[in-house]
Chain A
Amino acid sequence: DTVLTQSPALAVSPGERVTISCRASESVSTLMHWYQQKPGQQPTLLIYLASNLESGVPARFSGSGSGTDFTLTIDPVEADDTATYYCQQSWNDPLTFGSGTKLEIK
């Protein structure tokens, strides 16, 4: 299975820029997607196909990368962005998710 590695946690202050990384154990081309999960809620789609912003998602969110290295950027961060962020690949079978990066807003 394709393993997606994310750093476990980050803490930033409101107004700062934060980058959340996701590294794949093998190439996933650009079939990488990002989700936000707030405590007690279901995940919501933020970015699809590495860099495409889902409709309704603020332009503060952006994605980049291809192959094995991907990044989700939030600029500027707001207090409401407190959540766990997951990457997911759909290039290789089975579909796999990263373990999530918990973002704390100081």
Chain B
Amino acid sequence: EVQLVESGGGLVQPGRSMKLSCAASGFTFNNYDMAWVCQAPKKGLEWVATISYDGSSTYYRDSVKGRFTISRDNAKSTLYLQMDSLRSEDTATYYCARSAPGIPYYFDYWGQGVMVTVSS
């Protein structure tokens, strides 16, 4: 059974950093691109970043470029999101998602999400 379990969220002050983790199991992690998708309170879904199966390529939405870093440790089957210079508008639930195989870039499995609140 595919499982994605996020951790590392909580309350953080504006301008500070936070690192999210996503532990994957039930599939061959290093065969899949992975992504982070966020959802602000009572709002819709927003793609944040994607990393290729081997970590060689990363992609970000414009609003997080230069502030967020997606990475992975295939030996540990774990995905990360390092979030620096956090802003109040980054407040959201962050979901780890598996990208379906191949080019189409849709998400066939999602974690339960972790809440990040940026506030003083």
Residues of A within 8 A of B (CB): 31, 33, 35, 37, 41-45, 48-49, 54, 86, 88, 90, 93-100
Report the nearest A residue to B112, measured CB to CB: A42
**Chain B positions near chain A (C-beta within 8 angstroms):** 44-47, 50, 59, 61-62, 95, 100, 104-113
Which residues of B have CB within 8 Å of A93?
59
B100 near A48 with CB under 8 A, answer yes
Question: Is B47 a contact partner of A95 (Cβ separation < 8 A)?
Answer: yes
Which of A41, A45, A98 touches B107 (beta carbons < 8 Å)?
A: A45
Contact A97 B44 (CB under 8 A): yes
- Residues of chain A within 8 A (CB-CB) of B108 are 45, 48, 54
Residue contacts A-B, CB under 8 angstroms, 26 given: A33-B106, A35-B45, A41-B112, A42-B95, A42-B111, A42-B112, A42-B113, A43-B45, A43-B110, A44-B110, A45-B107, A48-B108, A49-B104, A49-B106, A88-B106, A90-B104, A90-B105, A94-B47, A95-B47, A95-B50, A96-B47, A97-B44, A97-B46, A97-B47, A99-B44, A100-B44
